[in-house]
Amino acid sequence: MKIISYNVNGIRAALRKGFLDWLQIANPDVICIQETKANKDQVDVEAIEKAGYPYHYWFSANKKGYSGVAIFSKHKPNHVEYGTGIDYMDFEGRNIRVDFDSVSIMSLYLPSGTNLARLEHKFTFMADFQKYIDTLKKEIPNLVICGDYNICHQAIDIHDPVRNKNVSGFLPVEREWLDNFMKRGFIDSFRFFNQEPHNYTWWSYRANARNNNKGWRIDYNLVSETLKENLKRAVILPEAKHSDHCPLLVELEFPQ
């Protein structure tokens, strides 16, 4: 099973930039989208279905043109869970999950801490999300949480760790939370296969950052430790340029 996570920074803009042509070439079984910035009725879903994804599920924010997550799948899931049941998370359309026989796949868009108020909101979200996942894992042990976490885990995951040490996304408290989250039962699938530096998933639009590869790795496919033996490969796909983020892929292998 090939799974891709992609913060598209606006699905309608990505579609205009050739997203569906790219998707057909990448050919994942499931793609988790973040920051759709659209409701389902604002998108050409027929084109998505023609591209090979007849099953598409959308969870948009109450506020128009903001946040939002979606999952497109080649295969029909057993169940779709819209949101977490935590109201302030769900108002912003930050979580959707599809359940299959062997694995459940979640698309997550964790808030950024763009100012002091949003940073406090992010910390509250992080704490509540940890509790939510701790409970969920008891029911669904085989979980893949794909998404934009808006946090760099380690110094290797950011182009300038020294000058960014006091910037949200690389604050010690954020990094500690992500570290503890992983230690409570998840594998960073990319780092499971690749320990090389200079691998990023987001670049600022300023100062030619992407061409100079001055980026941050803030997007992850976190895989339950119960699926460790099923991990086949995990890669970042920086050649896809429909967004300020790029997609990342994890492939799981299940016995027939």
**Both tokens assigned to 90:** 């769900």
Pairing between strand 104-109 and 143-148? parallel
- The set of catalytic residues is 148
If you search the block for the tokens 């803030």, which residue do you land on? 218
Calpha distance 140→241 (Å, rounded): 34
Cβ contacts of residue 54 below 8 Å, gap of 6+?
A: 74, 76
Distance of CA 16 to the CA centre of its chain: 21
Q: 149 — phi, psi (to 5°)?
A: -90, -10
- Distance of alpha carbon 187 from alpha carbon 49, whole angstroms: 32
